[in-house]
Structure 1
Amino acid sequence: MRRLCVVRKKQHFHIIQTAILCTFLLLTFLDIWPPFFEPIFEGEEDEEETLSTHKLREAFDEGVEKLEYLYSAQMGKAKMSELVERNAIVEKMRQCGGTEQKRTARSREWTKNGQLFVYSAYLDGRKNSVFSNWPSVQVLISSFGIVPLNHTFYCHFRHYLYQTDVAKWVWQGTVVRAHVRWIWQRAWDPRTEFYNTFLITCPMTTKNLEEEIDSFILISRNSFCVNSDQSIGMANFTKIIKPNKNLVITDQSVFGVQAGQIKIAVCTKGLSFLEETIAFSAQKVVEWVLLQRSFGANDVTLYIYWIPQKVRNALRRMANKKQLEIVELNLPGNSPNHPFLRHQFIQRNRQQKRRHELIPYNDCFSRYSATHHFVLICDIDEVVVPLRHHNWQQLLHELVAQGKWRAEPSSISIRNVFKFWRQNTTNLNNEQHNANKNNNSNQAEDTKNEDSLFSNKWRTEKAQPIGQYGKSFVNTRSVASVFNHFGLHRLHANVANTLHVGENDALKLHWREKCPEAEFGTEKCQELAKNVIIDTLLDRFREKIEGEKRKAF
């Protein structure tokens, strides 16, 4: 039976190939060409391949290659990109220096370097397999297509050492060859016609640069020095963010770190909401932030495209109290950045949305990689709840201490259960109805007040299968880049795969307006709606959260 299924899949694939080939031959026979090719005129290059035919053949070959890759992925034979980079030689091209006015350079804002759009650059002192003897600067960029993989790029460092007079600074710098990694796996989607995210690693061969010394970086295909006061189209430097030395953790591993010493940061993707809804309101976002802090988050960072003013005001009050950090976010390149157009663009372009989300994920991870042990990336409708422990630190300490590890953990993933706002209780059995009636005195009031994460008293009984909707605590001691659900590239080879935590240890509560039928299907959603239980996991935090919430309004 299995062999028959494989044969049928191969037949379907060959049918698709044949259909594409027939279309190509039909266009050739009828002399019908897409408008983006130049027309063929009689008598011109009769015996030679025309430019339009060459372009069409290239497009056809590329399309067939992607179909073949997708078929290989379905068969479990797709080639995956390497997650551990081999040791590279530091290629120092130039030593530069001079005096000039200190350049104005930004970080965590888009800076155009030719075909690249640079977002941020972070000094990274962690040991890594690429440049094992040097600290590195991790540069986060976006580029349309995969230009960085097809060309050699160089990192231009610029360090302003001291000031000679009111206007001039002495600077020194080096030019070294860059190491480029695509933060993606082709098995997720082999198409490249998007803005893609890349991590460029630059070895910094100049040591003992104190925190107060301003350092900048430029990514370019040119290896020549950018001279003092030289202003060219590609000379757009980005400021290197250096960690506070007083906050840097010296642990090379999470093994042996006591629970009370574990530091955890929480990051979100870019938030784009034009108005408050049942799923997004000022009350719920404030509750969400307070819950993260109650569970043990040392820092919480929200990336924001656009949110309603009421929500923004509440978050600003919390930011002023150091309860969170807000980072304003835009899309790179020619992507729309008017709030309404950008929101529509994000909602309607799912594959591009997934790629754009890698920018805040990895910026936040790089931001905390020197000062925190774990980074949890989750959405504002998700809360990771420890079931047997008071906080995340105790949970992670036990998992690390008692686990049968052969290597440093990469990610510790938590299973998902849903909490649907539009829960249809007509399908519940008598036992569930009685539990609903007898739950507690706040049930009736909670049902009316949907503007609170505590109001929904139901959750699905079964957790989603491993690998579906899970979110991870990513280990900064072993990971170089992150994806939505887990760590991706690794700092070195001695790293274990993702650990999936048992349902008795922790669960991720995931609020949704309703079951995603487009993804699960009607039958699966009906099954989830019927198999629900009373959820009391957050009750122990409710009184404290509601008391603190009032201070934000």
Structure 2
Amino acid sequence: MQSRLHYVTLVLLFSAFITFYFNFLLTFPVNPNPSTPKTNLKEIVSYSLLKKIEIESEQLTCTKFNRPKKVNFQKSEMWTKVPRTNLHVFNVYYDDRLKPFRYLRLIGMMKGTTNRTLYCQMKMEDKITITKAVKSEIWLKEWDEGDEETFNPVLISCYLPSSYIPQTLSINSDQCTLNPQTFKVIVPHVQKTEDNYTMTICVKPLNFLSDISVRLMQWIEISKVLGADPSQMSSSVKNKRQLRRNGTTSRTVNHDEVFNRKIWQKRRNEVITYNDCMYRNLRSSHFVIPLDIDEVIIPRIFYTWKEALRHIFKETPPLHESFASFSVRNAYFLEEFGRTASTNIFFFDYTKRSQFSDEGDVFNHYSLEPLKPGIRRTFFLPENFLQKNHYKPTCSIALLPECIKYTTSQIEMDDILINKYKTDFFKNYGKVYEMFTNKSE
């Protein structure tokens, strides 16, 4: 089972959390006055969603508030512990995908386990509004149960009773005691475009002991050729200024108690990074693509991701409304298979691959919980349209038992599909590499 769980992420839009490759970030309306559910599936789905919203939108009142002497505004992306709780907050985002219903989504970690009720405290125009916080764990115990010292990723939803967007959010275990800590609400930027296939790549924290700058540049350039919008990165990367000039945003996450070296804690940390990236791009991208920098998704028939997806959705129109995520089959291009070229570009130099992974063994990210009832978690895109090239020195059986069928199989195939991008890749890569190396000297 570990083979499917090695790369785990979570997000929300046709999903509530996810682990996937292509994730829809499309806004869709909800009928606030549904009729009694009949046999019509759409009506049942709408009714189920509204019952869920009704349960999650409990408002509370206080005859008197205990107010703090001083309010502390917390910086975004700085882990902050909420007093008298085991909750550590990373970021808070505004989410209006279920219009006319709106939420604040808090991305954070909880240490150990707790059943304590939390409350959302928001200043809505001239009054304080209190709603019951709805906690959703974005980690499955089947992956790793952890213990009381483990930090588990959570998404906390705060229902907004009106269209007013509060500037800050406070969380407390006492509904009538206002927390002196207040977190800035991030309203995702709206990108005005008629392109319904805008894509953002989300990358997990790049915590490497060695310098991976050149390899990272190569990966960024091939991703741009394939159709990615400027990459959203959460990393500790050298030469950030140079990467920004290259059209890539580099975001540094601070390291403290939450970010330790234990492998399963590391996986939990990645869940936070991917969710944060998705919410940050909630209103500017139609797709979020969580990828590692040793992975490249290649269209087999078409040239770019957009062309491939347009064709797939045109052939099957209901597809994009029925699934929260779309998965691509994995093939290993292992260094142990042998180097076949000498371009010094890692994805052009290794062209021998393994067989494709089975559907149940995809090494990628998929929707963990759809945003509304009736949406299924993931759809496996046919391998004759898209494939994921996974470049690694070897496939470790110790970490992933499923690797045995890739490393011991006699089936090694020559696959030069990626070579069709050589001309476009080298058009810009030479200039970027020269600019980067000159800046580094």
TM-score normalised to the size of structure 2? Answer: 0.77
Cα 1:248/1:177, change in 2 over 3 Å: farther
**Maintained 8 Å contact 1:94/1:225:** no
Paired with 1:386 and 1:460, the residues of 2 have a C-alpha distance of 16
Q: Secondary structure at the match of 1:352?
A: helix
Measure the CA separation in 2 of the matches of 1:103 and 1:391: 47
Q: CA deviation at 1:470?
A: 3.7
The correspondence for 2:386, drawn from 500, 506, 516, is 506
Aligned CA distance change for structure 1 residues 522 and 326 (closer, same or farther; 3 Å)? closer
Q: Residue 355 of structure 2: SS of its match in structure 1?
A: coil
Trace 1:27-106 onto structure 2 (pairs within 5 A): 86-87=52-53, 88-94=55-61, 103-106=72-75
Conservation of the 8 A alpha-carbon contact between 1:517 and 1:525: no
Q: Distance in 2 between matches of 1:522 and 1:410?
A: 28
Counterpart CA distance in 2 for 1:545 and 1:421 is 26
Equivalence for 2:188: 243
Q: Quote the Cα distance in structure 2 between the aligned partners of 1:521 and 1:499.
A: 22
Aligned length: 378
Structure 1 spans left out of the alignment, 5+ residues: 1-82, 162-170, 227-233, 250-257, 337-341, 426-435, 437-442, 472-484
Task: Name 2:102's counterpart in structure 1.
Answer: 135
What is the aligned partner in structure 1 of residue 40 from structure 2? none
Amino acid at match of 1:494: G
- Indicate how the Cα distance of structure 1 residues 366 and 335 shifts in structure 2: closer, same or farther if over 3 A, else same: closer
The question of whether the paired residues in 1 share the 8 Å contact of 2:196 and 2:286 is answered with no
Q: Quick check: 1:537 aligned with 2:418?
A: yes
For residue 489 of structure 1, what is the amino acid of its counterpart?
A: E
Q: Does 1:221 align with 2:173?
A: yes
Provide Cα deviations, 1:247-273, integer angstroms capped at 9, x if missing partner: 278xxxxxxxx8x43111110111111
Conserved? CA contact 1:215–1:239, under 8 Å: yes
Deviation at 1:548, TM superposition (A): 4.2
The verdict on how the C-alpha distance between 1:220 and 1:521 changes in structure 2, with shifts beyond 3 A counting, is closer
Gap change, CA 1:538 and 1:111, over 3 Å in 2? farther
Aligned residue among 266, 273, 276 for 1:360: 273
Relative distance call for 1:455 and 1:133 in structure 2 (3 A) is closer
Q: Is residue 112 of structure 1 aligned with residue 62 of structure 2? A: no
What is the CA distance between 1:459 and its match in structure 2? 2.9
Q: Which residue of 2 aligns with 1:167?
A: none
Is the CA contact 1:419–1:456 (under 8 Å) kept in the aligned structure 2?
no
Contact 1:97/1:172 (CA < 8 Å) preserved in 2?
no
One-letter amino acid of the counterpart of residue 250, structure 2: I
Shift of 1:360: 0.2
Find the counterpart in structure 2 of residue 146 from structure 1.
Answer: 113
**Aligned counterparts of 1:237 and 1:537: Cα–Cα separation in 2:** 49
Task: Tell me how far apart the structure 2 counterparts of residues 401 and 522 of structure 1 sit (CA, whole Å).
Answer: 36
Check 1:529–1:320 CA distance in 2 against 1; reply closer, same or farther (3 A cut).
farther
Deviations 1:317-347 (A, max 9, x none): 12135x1111111356x346xxxxx5xx2xx
Q: Is the 8 A contact 2:109 2:151 kept in 1?
A: yes
Over 3 Å counting, the alpha-carbon distance change for 1:101 and 1:324 in structure 2 is: farther
Cα offset for 1:372? 1.5
Tell me the distance in 2 between the aligned counterparts of 1:493 and 1:319. Answer: 39
1:107–1:119 contact (8 Å) kept in structure 2: yes
In structure 2, the residue matched to 1:524 is 405
Task: Indicate how the Cα distance of structure 1 residues 523 and 123 shifts in structure 2: closer, same or farther if over 3 A, else same.
Answer: closer
> Which is richer in helix?
1
| Residue 468 of structure 1: aligned partner | 361
- Amino acid of the structure 2 residue aligned with 1:458: T
| 1:298 and 2:229 aligned | yes
Partners of 1:197 and 1:486 lie apart in 2 by: 17
Counterpart for residue 219 of structure 2: 288
Q: Which amino acid aligns with 1:116?
A: L
Q: Percent identity?
A: 22
Report how far residue 517 of structure 1 moved.
2.8
Given that residues 71 and 180 in structure 2 are in contact (C-alpha distance below 8 angstroms), is that contact kept between their aligned partners in structure 1?
no
What is residue 298 of structure 2 aligned with on the other side? 385
Flag structure 2 segments of 5+ consecutive residues without an equivalent: 1-47
AA matched with 2:199: I
Number of the residue aligned with 1:478:
none
1:134: how far off?
2.5
C-alpha separation between the residues in 1 aligned to 2:278 and 2:403? 37
Cα distance, 1:98 vs structure 2:
9.6
Residue 552 of structure 1 aligns with an amino acid whose one-letter code is F
Coordinate RMSD, CA, aligned: 3.0
**Greater Rg by CA:** 1
Whole-angstrom distance in 2 between the partners of 1:388 and 1:205: 48
Q: Tell me, what secondary structure is at the counterpart of 1:173?
A: strand
Whichever residue aligns with residue 418 of structure 2, its letter is L
Contact 2:299 2:308 in 1 (8 A): yes
- Work out which of the residue numbers 370, 394, 400 in structure 2 matches 1:490: 370
How far the C-alpha of 1:355 sits from its partner, in A, is 1.4
Deviations 1:379-437 (A, max 9, x none): 11111111222211121222222227475221111111111123348xxxxxxxxxx6x
